[in-house]
Amino acid sequence: MSRKKLIFITGGARSGKSNFAEKMAVDSGKSVAYLATAQPLDEEMAFRIEKHREKRLNTWETYEEPIKVRELVSRLGLEKDTILIDCLTLLTSNLLLRKEEKLEDPEWQEEILLEIEKLAEISFRVPAQVIIVSNEVGMGLVPDNTLGRVYRDILGRANSIIADKADEVFLMVSGIPLKIKG
């Protein structure tokens, strides 16, 4: 079984990343696994999650997993044509906040990035095409608090890890995909 592509889609909030990724998944093959990393921690997020659920194709298998994404990719990457991970932004946040008291601990930050490296490696190796969506958060204002700054820095490094391993990278700007790698 030959390996398909690892595709990374990044951009600002509401730039069309998920829509572009979903179209790519539809065009890519018969069996799609959708890995959603969001958690309904408040009413507004629960509403967003429900809206995302409603627009997914009913032929796709959806897995809602905030942390153990790598394990799912490892298994599903042998069974499915395409895996869509939406999104690395929330996965990184979920990993970081598991031990919020260690927020400024460089060793904890490196553990998070090691998990992202393992996700990149397995996503690159599995036979399925893997599409990973993430926000580009480093182009705006410097956050005014430690959590925001640590998160921005870790996500920037996580995005770099995935982009480095990816066969193709797209930057979404105002709903327009710009291919920047591959």
- Known catalytic residues are 52
Q: Which residue type, as a one-letter code, is found at position 52? A: H
Give 40's DSSP letter: -
- 8 closest CA partner among 129, 152, 172, 133: 133
- 4 closest CA partner among 29, 21, 35, 26: 29
Q: Is 100 exposed, middle or buried (0-12, 13-18, 19+ CB in 10 A)?
A: exposed
Helix, strand or coil, per DSSP, at residue 159: helix
Sort strands 168-173 and 176-181 into parallel, antiparallel or unpaired: antiparallel
The rounded distance, in Å, linking the Cα atoms of 172 and 10 is: 6
The pair of structure tokens assigned to 97 is: 């906040």
Alpha helices (H) in 98-145, listed in sequence order? 106-125
